[in-house]
A and B are shown apart, each in its own frame.
Chain A
């Protein structure tokens, strides 16, 4: 009955209702689209940064993250790899051994990290091979090949085909020394990686650094980051069974995680102000209409409607407005997000800035249940709560005064 009345009341003032609906739809559309866009950019940032080397998760020896040392090892990498690959959220695993060494070319020398990788597995996990600018990436049948960062190569004044000397310490503390041939230079755009990373074959690394089949880390990747995150409990169990630990993406890239948290916090501030403004606009419209309809309410009360019922009717009007407006907003905002999710949005002229964050100039929103509903839901709930104001106003009405009002 009340619902019916409320519905009819809404359409007695078509213009006002449509305008209110539009403002609400617009706000919730912005919320849906912006949130999807923000999540999309985060996904891209995380994906790009993690796919480059770290992977979506990693097996590491106990204490390796705080103080990485070549003597901290995973002795049977095969066991962990195989167990991890049985999980749904893991599609590839790449074992790695890392030594801190001095790289030398003639009388030029620099400190660097040399990473022993299995090219077949590595290319499934890491996108670094795709950033090789000169020459080529490592191949499984290589022997003494090494690929190094472009900046490192420039510092060492070394070219493709040159011999690169490395000296460091092996797993057993012995001197590890080797001479390798540079076959490729990579340019990831990440200054730290381009300046201090070299990759060689794991099997050669194993001999040079006396690893005895052990590795330092195993990088894991899955179909999506969230799928791998979902597999973390399973990975934890595998790690615990083998005396290792699991690091999730936030632990691998703490700076990125903090950056995203910070950005999201400022984003939230924007969304909250948007919601507050929308609520005030709607509340204002509604309060105006309630004041305008004082005589009508007086009449209703006079013919025997209880004040609570009259107030409830207005409240229902408000909720109906909110629901319809936000449904429209979700439809339009979600539609836009979905459309651009396929085509991408080009930010021309921003390549430099975006490049710093490992992004291309084409960005894609990611529409999800969360991004589609979080904003509109906040609006609906806030509007519903704010409805207490007109409700209380009507409760205070005296029928005789109200009927006489003009």
Chain B
């Protein structure tokens, strides 16, 4: 009798164990599916943001406690690594241009009629006096390649599900941030990006203030960058015109085109 009941109990234990294993497998399967989701969301957001190529007209407002400055520029991007931006107004800044190739940057100044390469040590400095840095322009895809993701939670806004994704740098990744938190809509539109320093203190917030239709896609039209520790200081970029997935001439992203525009 004793032996039998022991055997039965063993059988029952086995069943429980199997069930537990199945649950574990399910849960881990689910979580890896969610991780994949986070990555897919991130990729979708980047594809929406940069497209295969783009030509956009934007206005940039730099706001400081004592003054505000508005400028406009035309920008081109191709793939993940190439960008070119050329100021068209105000008159004082007109013609200044920035070329980004992977993680290198060059600026052109019409007054000097000269192209200057930005030293890598100063890539973290402000770009054109704004709250964006050269790194922001060149390392946008870092978020895609140098981080691991976890979905922190979901919410909803304007009939869409919004995912909050925590992005932690991969071990040893050459990035300046300790953590990023990104909000992405289920249709792949960026809503917010928070940058945390190595001490996990919020350093700055890039928020999307307006989402709308432009160039045939749903796009973050108004973006504002707020440094966390500087009151009354922000930079807002508004996209007014955009064309996506266009074909750009091969010379677009060269220093000679930077200096002598052909487009």
Which residues of chain A in 336-370 are interfacial with respect to chain B, using CB atoms and an 8 Å cutoff? none
Asked if B19 CB lies within 8 Å of chain A CBs, one says no
In the bound complex, do residue B69 and residue A111 qualify as a contact, i.e. CB atoms below 8 Å apart? no
Report the bound CA distance from A198 to B150 in whole Å: 47
Say which residue of B93, B116, B121 sits within 8 Å of A174 (CB atoms).
B93
Closest to B109 in A: A177
Produce 1/0 per residue, A176-209, CB < 8 A to B. Answer: 0111000000000000000000000000000000
Interface size on B, as a range, is 20 to 34
Report the bound CA distance from A173 to B109 in whole Å: 15
Produce 1/0 per residue, A93-122, CB < 8 A to B. Answer: 000000010101001011100000000000
Produce 1/0 per residue, B57-84, CB < 8 A to A. Answer: 0000010101101000000000000000
Q: State whether A173 and B122 are in contact (beta carbons under 8 Å apart), knowing that A109-B116, A167-B116 are contacts in the complex.
A: no
A residues within 8 A CB of B230?
67
Report the bound CA distance from A175 to B111 in whole Å: 10
Tell me how far the C-beta of A146 lies from the nearest C-beta in chain B, rounded to whole angstroms: 14
In the bound complex, do residue B119 and residue A169 qualify as a contact, i.e. CB atoms below 8 Å apart? no
Produce 1/0 per residue, B115-153, CB < 8 A to A. Answer: 011110110011011100000000000000000000000
In the bound complex, do residue A173 and residue B62 qualify as a contact, i.e. CB atoms below 8 Å apart? yes
Report the bound CA distance from A165 to B118 in whole Å: 12
Report the bound CA distance from A98 to B228 in whole Å: 24
Which residues of chain A in 207-226 are interfacial with respect to chain B, using CB atoms and an 8 Å cutoff? none
Asked if A144 CB lies within 8 Å of chain B CBs, one says no
Asked if B53 CB lies within 8 Å of chain A CBs, one says no
A residues within 8 A CB of B111?
177
Closest to B95 in A: A175
Tell me how far the C-beta of A28 lies from the nearest C-beta in chain B, rounded to whole angstroms: 51
Say which residue of B62, B67, B87, B119 sits within 8 Å of A102 (CB atoms).
B119
Asked if B112 CB lies within 8 Å of chain A CBs, one says yes
Tell me how far the C-beta of A153 lies from the nearest C-beta in chain B, rounded to whole angstroms: 15
A residues within 8 A CB of B62?
173
In the bound complex, do residue A174 and residue B107 qualify as a contact, i.e. CB atoms below 8 Å apart? no
Asked if B256 CB lies within 8 Å of chain A CBs, one says no
B residues within 8 A CB of A172?
67, 69
In the bound complex, do residue A107 and residue B129 qualify as a contact, i.e. CB atoms below 8 Å apart? no
Tell me how far the C-beta of B210 lies from the nearest C-beta in chain A, rounded to whole angstroms: 23
Asked if A71 CB lies within 8 Å of chain B CBs, one says yes
In the bound complex, do residue A165 and residue B112 qualify as a contact, i.e. CB atoms below 8 Å apart? yes
Closest to B65 in A: A71
In the bound complex, do residue B117 and residue A173 qualify as a contact, i.e. CB atoms below 8 Å apart? no
In the bound complex, do residue B112 and residue A173 qualify as a contact, i.e. CB atoms below 8 Å apart? no
In the bound complex, do residue A175 and residue B121 qualify as a contact, i.e. CB atoms below 8 Å apart? no
In the bound complex, do residue A177 and residue B117 qualify as a contact, i.e. CB atoms below 8 Å apart? no
A residues within 8 A CB of B122?
102, 111
Tell me how far the C-beta of B94 lies from the nearest C-beta in chain A, rounded to whole angstroms: 10
In the bound complex, do residue B92 and residue A109 qualify as a contact, i.e. CB atoms below 8 Å apart? no
A residues within 8 A CB of B116?
102, 104, 109, 165, 167
Report the bound CA distance from A178 to B107 in whole Å: 14
Say which residue of B93, B119, B125 sits within 8 Å of A110 (CB atoms).
B119
Asked if B96 CB lies within 8 Å of chain A CBs, one says yes
Asked if B114 CB lies within 8 Å of chain A CBs, one says yes
Report the bound CA distance from A174 to B87 in whole Å: 11
Tell me how far the C-beta of B133 lies from the nearest C-beta in chain A, rounded to whole angstroms: 12
B residues within 8 A CB of A110?
119, 121
In the bound complex, do residue A167 and residue B117 qualify as a contact, i.e. CB atoms below 8 Å apart? no
Q: State whether A169 and B126 are in contact (beta carbons under 8 Å apart), knowing that A109-B118, A175-B92, A175-B109 are contacts in the complex.
A: yes
Closest to A111 in B: B122
In the bound complex, do residue B125 and residue A100 qualify as a contact, i.e. CB atoms below 8 Å apart? yes
B residues within 8 A CB of A178?
112
Report the bound CA distance from A110 to B120 in whole Å: 9
In the bound complex, do residue A111 and residue B125 qualify as a contact, i.e. CB atoms below 8 Å apart? yes
Closest to B111 in A: A177
A residues within 8 A CB of B119?
102, 109-111
Produce 1/0 per residue, A143-181, CB < 8 A to B. Answer: 000000000000000000000010101101111011100
Tell me how far the C-beta of A366 lies from the nearest C-beta in chain B, rounded to whole angstroms: 41
In the bound complex, do residue B121 and residue A111 qualify as a contact, i.e. CB atoms below 8 Å apart? yes
B residues within 8 A CB of A100?
125
In the bound complex, do residue B129 and residue A174 qualify as a contact, i.e. CB atoms below 8 Å apart? yes
Closest to B235 in A: A173
Say which residue of B64, B87, B109 sits within 8 Å of A167 (CB atoms).
B109
Closest to A104 in B: B116
B residues within 8 A CB of A111?
119, 121-122, 125
Closest to A196 in B: B121
In the bound complex, do residue B69 and residue A173 qualify as a contact, i.e. CB atoms below 8 Å apart? yes
Closest to B67 in A: A172
In the bound complex, do residue B93 and residue A175 qualify as a contact, i.e. CB atoms below 8 Å apart? yes
In the bound complex, do residue A173 and residue B125 qualify as a contact, i.e. CB atoms below 8 Å apart? no
In the bound complex, do residue B66 and residue A167 qualify as a contact, i.e. CB atoms below 8 Å apart? no
Say which residue of A104, A165, A174, A179 sits within 8 Å of B69 (CB atoms).
A174
Q: State whether A71 and B125 are in contact (beta carbons under 8 Å apart), knowing that A102-B116, A165-B116, A179-B112 are contacts in the complex.
A: no
Q: State whether A169 and B109 are in contact (beta carbons under 8 Å apart), knowing that A109-B117, A174-B92 are contacts in the complex.
A: no
Tell me how far the C-beta of B93 lies from the nearest C-beta in chain A, rounded to whole angstroms: 5
Tell me how far the C-beta of A167 lies from the nearest C-beta in chain B, rounded to whole angstroms: 5
Report the bound CA distance from A175 to B114 in whole Å: 13
Produce 1/0 per residue, A69-105, CB < 8 A to B. Answer: 0010000000000000000000000000000101010
A residues within 8 A CB of B126?
169
B residues within 8 A CB of A71?
64, 66-67
B residues within 8 A CB of A104?
114, 116-117
Closest 8 CB pairs of A and B: A169-B129, A111-B122, A173-B129, A177-B109, A104-B116, A173-B69, A175-B96, A173-B62
19 A-B residue pairings within 8 Å (CB atoms): A71-B64, A100-B125, A102-B118, A110-B119, A165-B114, A165-B116, A167-B112, A167-B116, A169-B129, A172-B67, A173-B64, A173-B69, A173-B128, A173-B129, A175-B93, A175-B128, A177-B111, A178-B112, A179-B114
10 more A-B contacts (CB under 8 A) besides A111-B121, A174-B69, A175-B96?
A71-B67, A109-B116, A167-B112, A169-B129, A173-B67, A173-B129, A174-B129, A175-B109, A178-B112, A179-B114
